[in-house]
Amino acid sequence: MNVLSKPADLEAAAPAGAFIQEVTSVQHYTDHLFKFRMTRPASFRFRSGEFVMIGLMIDGKPLYRAYSIASPSWDEELEFFSIKVPDGPLTQYLQKVQPGDAVLMKKKPTGTLVNDALVPGKRVYMFSTGTGLAPFASLIRDPDTYEKFDEVIVTHTCRQVEELRYGLDLVEATKNDPLIGELAAEKLKHFTSVTREDYPVKGRITDLIENGRLFEELGVPPLDPAIDRGMICGSMDMLRDTKAILEKAGLHEGANNKPAEFVVERAFVG
């Protein structure tokens, strides 16, 4: 396999119409989770919560996967939170990138997990599992989110405790951020649970909604379509099951062109 990740090599070989960006930092969390940051093209605009196609040149061809942008729209750099799959077509190579390496990015961001796709409300729930936290890492650092909602609740459920680290560090840094720290300290709540190890709150988010534990822990009333809004990002099964629960509670799915009470990630791939 010939994988190009040096800026000069990519400049020579990359397809037209893709940005070539330089990786600025990489942090590995577990054997299968890492974060990387990269430069942001001056002309690149996106809405917090959107995703973009990220890729590498592998054996002479560009290979892309959809990645939620984890940084907010005001950030100078772009951040991504990724899985590492040992034989994953892209992530087996992407996980090896180092600062100074280059990656490809397609020019057009898109996505359903944006504030504009929700009708106004009092409280927004951002339900995530695994790397499904990424779009919410963007949204909880965006002042618009706090302008729109009085309470912002991010739930993150993982199999193992160490997989929560990215989110725990992120929320702490967000609460201390000079731009949005004050808003986040007042309005942001982070709810974590783990399914396959001991942890203070054990269980899938779907079960914790249905048995009421989520609301007990947060000290809030059960879901109310008049004031509660939702965003969902996780595996296909998680999306399906969480969506069914929100619908049972009387919330309707919205889209960019038809805002409603909740939205589901439509392009999320592991």
As a whole number of angstroms, the distance between CA 109 and CA 44 comes to: 9
157 near ligand A2P, rule: CB under 6 A: yes
Identify which range of 41-49, 145-153, 217-225, 229-237 contacts ligand A2P by CB under 6 A. 229-237
Q: Could you tell me which of 70, 65, 69 has the C-alpha nearest to residue 94?
A: 65
Burial 102-140 (b: 16+ CB within 10 A, else e): bbbbbeebbbbbbbebbeebebbbbbbbbbbbbbbbbbb
Identify which range of 34-42, 105-113, 231-239, 259-267 contacts ligand A2P by CB under 6 A. 231-239
| For ligand A2P, the closer CB: 258 or 266 | 266
**Side chain identity at 46, as an amino acid letter?**
F
The 115-144 contact track toward ligand A2P, x by CB under 6 A, reads --------------xx--------------
Those residues with Cβ within 8 angstroms of residue 93's Cβ, 6 or more apart along the chain or in another chain: 1, 3, 5, 56, 58
CB distance 195 to 159 below 8 Å: yes
Among 108, 159, 248, 258, the residue binding ligand A2P under the rule CB under 6 A is 159
As a whole number of angstroms, the distance between CA 159 and CA 120 comes to: 33
Among 33, 205, 209, 233, the residue binding ligand A2P under the rule CB under 6 A is 205
As a whole number of angstroms, the distance between CA 263 and CA 148 comes to: 15
204 near ligand A2P, rule: CB under 6 A: yes
In the complex, least distance from residue 208 CB atom to ligand A2P, rounded to whole angstroms: 9
| For ligand A2P, the closer CB: 46 or 127 | 127
Among 195, 213, 218, 224, the residue binding ligand A2P under the rule CB under 6 A is 195
As a whole number of angstroms, the distance between CA 142 and CA 70 comes to: 11
As a whole number of angstroms, the distance between CA 127 and CA 234 comes to: 8
The Cα-based distances of 261 to 193, 240, 243 in angstroms read: 24, 16, 11
Site residues (CB under 6 A) for ligand A2P, limited to 245-264: none
Indicate if the alpha-carbon torsion angle 124, 242, 91, 109 is positive or negative: negative
Identify which range of 3-11, 113-121, 145-153, 230-238 contacts ligand A2P by CB under 6 A. 230-238
Identify which range of 53-61, 112-120, 173-181, 232-240 contacts ligand A2P by CB under 6 A. 232-240
Site residues (CB under 6 A) for ligand A2P, limited to 16-45: none
Both tokens assigned to 257: 């062109």
235 near ligand A2P, rule: CB under 6 A: yes
206 near ligand A2P, rule: CB under 6 A: yes
Binding site for ligand A2P (CB under 6 A): 129-130, 157-159, 195-196, 204-206, 234-235, 237-238, 241
